[in-house]
Amino acid sequence: MKKQLLICAMSVLVFLASCSKNTVDEEINPPVAANTVEVSGDLTASITWSADKIYLLKGNVFVTNNATLTIQPGTIIKGDKATKGALIITRGAKINATGTVDKPIVFTSSVAAGARKEGDWGGVIVLGKAVNNVGTSVAIEGISDATDKGKHGGTDNADNSGVIKYVRIEYAGIALSPDNEINGLTFGSVGSGTVVDYVEVYRSGDDAFEWFGGAVNCSHLLAIDSWDDDFDTDNGFSGKVQFGLAQRLAVTADVSGSNGFESDNDAAGSSNAPKTSAVFSNMTILGPVGSGGSSINANFQHGAQIRRNSAMSLFNSIIVGYTEGVFYDDALPAGGNAASSNLSTGASVFANNLIYNSNSKSNQIKASNATALGIITPLLTVVNTFDGAALAGSILTDPYKYSADLVATARVGVPNFTVVASSAAASGAAFTNAKLSTGFTSVAFKGAFGSENWAAGWAHFDPQSLAYTTPGAVK
């Protein structure tokens, strides 16, 4: 009898030890739900991801071999935190991510609701065969793969990498090392045949949107609480972007310096062609000043930083609440005056914009030296409106509302970025400049929104509260 009892006791101990081991294992490597499909490595044949499944990106997932990845409306794709999951559309391949207002496609964190944060996973990278000013086979930032899969560039500015429409990208963006980051949405030499429309990047751990060369045109972009820059253009990007908004939080900024726009021709400020000549119209840049924070992160810089020989242009837009306003930076090339010269020759145009309350560092208009400041100040003040005291609320309905995980109770809610009727932003937009002659929709209002809230239905401003455990449940 004692022997039988001893055997039973030992069996119980073995069972309990097994249960304990399984519990620990499951905490380290949680089991994948039955409705989740793990995806890793290369997708070499065309495939469709359906809304009745949740897809988990493990490490870098490459769409290769001229394949097309089709993603159905309402599909949830999660980036694995442990392996820094990311989706890369390689040259020649395509993504067909066409959501709808009612069923947007959501890329988000694998972390449970309530614990998500910026940098939980890599992000979405699209690589194409359009022109840049570095070469025809250039390694994209943030990808260590030395093969062709991680490279972009070519000679076809009309190249087609597919469709990204009604898509949310949440909690992505990883700074792997200085100047080597994965952004929320990264474009490498993406051509104008690609459709990018209605895209929200929420709480990116680096830039929200960054373009390295290429000629893709984009519209209806939202950058909410980015860590670094909101709209970053480099290496000869020549596309057209209309209707885009960035909303910043007072405490969130990067040690490298956070800007609404950051634009370079290249890292050296060279004259390499094609020159970065992106044209933006109807953009709204909501800086941290006036957002309700008790203190402003000292790493915030400019509403628009145009530097390193960039010839980026901005029209019919709003910059409000930045610590510094517009900066034409001539520091590179060394001893040069390329950025301010681009403005004085008309290669870069900054016109018909409202720059409000962006002077807390006494740099509403800023240049690298006194000579350049003397050149750009009259050019900018004649064709733009600068008001160091005007607040966002004078022109926008309710722009500084945030999700509960970002701010104190007083600011919790859903923002409304539409213009105040009869305000300075409600009318006065102009599309007579030659840079706006094609590819832009003529509207009366300045900034990203008129009276219509085009973010309604598909965008979300509190995704921390969404479980994302049921396929297709994107709201």
Q: What percent of the chain has pLDDT over 70?
A: 92
Q: What is the mean pLDDT of the chain?
A: 92
pLDDT tens-place string over residues 247-271 = 999 999 999 999 999 999 999 999 9
pLDDT higher than 60, residue 233: yes
CA–CA gap between residue 97 and residue 19 (Å, rounded): 42
pLDDT tens-place string over residues 291-316 = 987 799 999 999 999 999 999 999 99
Peptide bond into 333 cis (omega under 30): yes
pLDDT higher than 70, residue 283: yes
User: Three-class SS of residue 383?
Assistant: helix
pLDDT tens-place string over residues 317-372 = 999 999 999 999 999 998 888 999 999 999 999 999 999 999 999 999 999 999 99
pLDDT tens-place string over residues 37-80 = 999 999 999 999 999 999 999 999 999 999 999 999 999 999 99
b/e string for 85-112 if b means 16 or more Cβ within 10 A?
A: bbbbbbbbbbbbbbbeeebbbbbbbbbe
Two tokens at 29?
């490597």
Torsion sign across C-alpha atoms 93, 94, 95, 96 = negative
CA–CA gap between residue 128 and residue 239 (Å, rounded): 14
Could you tell me which residues come within 8 angstroms of residue 131 by beta carbon, excluding any fewer than 6 positions away?
A: 153, 154, 155, 156, 157, 189, 213, 214, 215, 236, 238, 274
CA–CA gap between residue 391 and residue 425 (Å, rounded): 12
pLDDT higher than 60, residue 7: no
Two tokens at 349?
């145009």
Helices (H) and strands (E) in the chain, counts: 3, 32
30 contacts 56 by C-beta, under 8 angstroms: no
pLDDT score of 143: 86
Could you tell me the pTM of the whole model? Answer: 0.93
Report which residue type is found at 157. N
pLDDT higher than 60, residue 205: yes
Query: Higher-confidence residue: 6 or 206?
Result: 206
pLDDT higher than 50, residue 453: yes
